[in-house]
Structure 1
Amino acid sequence: MKKYKNRSFIKIGVMATLALIIISSCSKDFLDRPAQGQYSEGDYPFSAGSGAFDPAIFEAYDALRLYGVHSAGFQAAVSIRSDDADKGSTDADGPSTRQFDDLTLTSTNGLTNGMWLDHYTMINRANLVLDRIKKDQSPLTPQAVKLSGQAEAKFIRAYAYFMMVRYFGGVPLIDSISTDQVSTSNKPRSTPAQVYTLIESDLQFAAANLPASWENKFIGRLTSGAANGLLAKVYITQKKWAQAKAAANQVIQSGQYDLSTPYNTIFGESGENSKESVFEVQASATPSETRRYGVQSSANQGVRGTGIWNLGNGFNVPSALLNATYEAGDPRKARTFLFAGGTSIYNEPVPANLPNPIYNHKAHTSPSYRARYLDNFGYWMNVRILRYADVVLMYAEASNEVGGTVNTQEALAKLELVRFRARGGNTAILPIVTTTDQEELRQAIRRERRVELGMEYDRFFDLVRWETVGPVLRAAGKPFVNGRDELLPIPQAQIDLSKGVLTQNPGF
Structure 2
Amino acid sequence: MKNILKFKKRHFALLILMIATTFVACDKDFLDRQAQGEYNQDNYPYPGGSGPYDQFINAAYSSLRNYNATVMPFIAAVSIRSDDADKGSTPSDGADALQLDNFNITPANGLVNALWSGHISLIADCNYILDRIKNDPNPNTAANLKIDAEAQAKFLRGYAYFMMVRLYGRVPIIDSITTSSAGAANIPQSTPAQVYAFIEKDLQFAAANLAPSYDPKFIGRITVGAANGLLAKVYLTQRKWAQAMATANLVMTSGQYDLSVPYSKVFDEAGENSKESIFEVQATATAAVPEQFGSQYAQVQGVRGSGDWNLGWGFNVPSTALEAAYETGDPRKARTILYSGGTSLYGEAVPAGLPNPRYNNKVSTPRAKQTAINSRSAWWMNVRLLRYADVVLMYAEAANELGGVANTTSALSALNSVRARARGGNNAILPNVVTTDQLVLSNAIRQERRVELGMEHERFFDIVRWGIAADVLQAQGKTFVVGKHEILPIPQTQIDLSKGVLTQNFGYN
Q: TM-score, structure 2 length as denominator? A: 0.92
Instruction: From the superposition, tell whether residues 212 and 316 of structure 1 become closer, same or farther in structure 2 (CA, over 3 Å).
Output: same
The residue aligned with 2:431 is: 431
Tell me the distance in 2 between the aligned counterparts of 1:27 and 1:184: 15
CA shift, 1:500, in A, is 0.7
The residue aligned with 1:4 is: none
CA shift, 1:288, in A, is 1.1
The residue aligned with 1:418 is: 418
Tell me the distance in 2 between the aligned counterparts of 1:461 and 1:67: 21
Q: Single out whichever of 368-377 and 397-406 deviates more from structure 2.
A: 368-377
Question: What pairs with 1:160-171 in structure 2 (closer than 5 Å)?
Answer: 160-171=160-171
CA shift, 1:142, in A, is 1.4
The residue aligned with 1:476 is: 476
Secondary structure in 1 matching 2:440: helix
Question: What pairs with 1:96-107 in structure 2 (closer than 5 Å)?
Answer: 96-107=96-107
CA shift, 1:481, in A, is 0.3
The residue aligned with 1:5 is: none
- Give deviations 1:127-165, integer Å, cap 9, x for gaps: 000000111253431111111100000011000000000
The residue aligned with 2:185 is: 185
- Give deviations 1:297-332, integer Å, cap 9, x for gaps: 100000001111111000000000001110010000
Instruction: From the superposition, tell whether residues 47 and 328 of structure 1 become closer, same or farther in structure 2 (CA, over 3 Å).
Output: closer
CA contact (8 A) 1:23 1:30 kept: no
Tell me the distance in 1 between the aligned counterparts of 2:7 and 2:161: 30
CA contact (8 A) 2:241 2:402 kept: yes
Tell me the distance in 2 between the aligned counterparts of 1:53 and 1:414: 39
Which residue type is aligned with residue 92 of structure 2?
A
Q: RMSD of the alignment, in Å? A: 1.4
CA contact (8 A) 1:24 1:30 kept: no
Tell me the distance in 1 between the aligned counterparts of 2:351 and 2:285: 27
Instruction: From the superposition, tell whether residues 26 and 195 of structure 1 become closer, same or farther in structure 2 (CA, over 3 Å).
Output: closer
Determine whether 1:456 maps to 2:438: no
Tell me the distance in 2 between the aligned counterparts of 1:234 and 1:271: 26
Tell me the distance in 2 between the aligned counterparts of 1:50 and 1:346: 40
Determine whether 1:75 maps to 2:57: no
Question: What pairs with 1:118-267 in structure 2 (closer than 5 Å)?
Answer: 118-267=118-267
- Give deviations 1:14-71, integer Å, cap 9, x for gaps: xxxx3x5423158844469xxxxxxxxxxxxx99741100000000111101111111
Instruction: From the superposition, tell whether residues 54 and 181 of structure 1 become closer, same or farther in structure 2 (CA, over 3 Å).
Output: farther
Determine whether 1:326 maps to 2:308: no
Tell me the distance in 2 between the aligned counterparts of 1:387 and 1:302: 22
Determine whether 1:24 maps to 2:24: no
- Give deviations 1:355-406, integer Å, cap 9, x for gaps: 0010000011221221121011111100001000000000000000011000
Tell me the distance in 1 between the aligned counterparts of 2:4 and 2:244: 42
Secondary structure in 1 matching 2:385: strand
Which residue type is aligned with residue 387 of structure 1?
R
Tell me the distance in 2 between the aligned counterparts of 1:70 and 1:138: 35
CA shift, 1:287, in A, is 1.4
Secondary structure in 1 matching 2:474: helix
The residue aligned with 1:38 is: none
Tell me the distance in 2 between the aligned counterparts of 1:70 and 1:444: 30
CA shift, 1:170, in A, is 1.1
Which residue type is aligned with residue 54 of structure 2?
D
Secondary structure in 2 matching 1:280: strand
Question: What pairs with 1:330-409 in structure 2 (closer than 5 Å)?
Answer: 330-409=330-409
CA shift, 1:93, in A, is 0.5
Secondary structure in 2 matching 1:428: coil
Tell me the distance in 2 between the aligned counterparts of 1:240 and 1:338: 37
The residue aligned with 2:36 is: none
Instruction: From the superposition, tell whether residues 48 and 308 of structure 1 become closer, same or farther in structure 2 (CA, over 3 Å).
Output: closer
Q: Single out whichever of 174-183 and 109-118 deviates more from structure 2.
A: 174-183
CA shift, 1:264, in A, is 0.6
Tell me the distance in 1 between the aligned counterparts of 2:47 and 2:469: 51
CA contact (8 A) 1:389 1:418 kept: yes
Which residue type is aligned with residue 288 of structure 2?
S
CA contact (8 A) 1:31 1:178 kept: no
The residue aligned with 1:90 is: 90
CA contact (8 A) 2:265 2:271 kept: yes
Secondary structure in 2 matching 1:324: helix
Instruction: From the superposition, tell whether residues 181 and 194 of structure 1 become closer, same or farther in structure 2 (CA, over 3 Å).
Output: farther
Secondary structure in 1 matching 2:171: coil
Secondary structure in 1 matching 2:316: strand
Tell me the distance in 1 between the aligned counterparts of 2:8 and 2:447: 54
Which residue type is aligned with residue 243 of structure 1?
Q
Which residue type is aligned with residue 144 of structure 1?
N
Tell me the distance in 1 between the aligned counterparts of 2:287 and 2:379: 12
- Give deviations 1:410-437, integer Å, cap 9, x for gaps: 0000001000000111111111100000
CA contact (8 A) 1:263 1:332 kept: yes
Q: Single out whichever of 281-290 and 442-451 deviates more from structure 2.
A: 281-290
CA shift, 1:286, in A, is 1.9
CA shift, 1:479, in A, is 0.8
Tell me the distance in 2 between the aligned counterparts of 1:436 and 1:23: 57
Instruction: From the superposition, tell whether residues 47 and 495 of structure 1 become closer, same or farther in structure 2 (CA, over 3 Å).
Output: closer
Tell me the distance in 1 between the aligned counterparts of 2:143 and 2:507: 49
Sequence identity of aligned pairs in percent?
60
CA contact (8 A) 1:302 1:359 kept: yes
Q: TM-score, structure 1 length as denominator? A: 0.92
CA shift, 1:478, in A, is 0.5
- Give deviations 1:68-94, integer Å, cap 9, x for gaps: 111111111111111000000000000
Tell me the distance in 2 between the aligned counterparts of 1:62 and 1:507: 35
CA shift, 1:181, in A, is 4.7
Question: What pairs with 1:26-45 in structure 2 (closer than 5 Å)?
Answer: 28-30=10-12
CA contact (8 A) 1:299 1:377 kept: yes
CA shift, 1:345, in A, is 1.0
Instruction: From the superposition, tell whether residues 86 and 47 of structure 1 become closer, same or farther in structure 2 (CA, over 3 Å).
Output: closer
CA contact (8 A) 2:158 2:202 kept: yes
CA contact (8 A) 2:96 2:109 kept: yes
Which residue type is aligned with residue 158 of structure 1?
G
Gap runs ≥5 in structure 1 = 1-17, 33-45
CA contact (8 A) 1:342 1:352 kept: yes
CA contact (8 A) 1:298 1:365 kept: no
Tell me the distance in 1 between the aligned counterparts of 2:400 and 2:275: 26
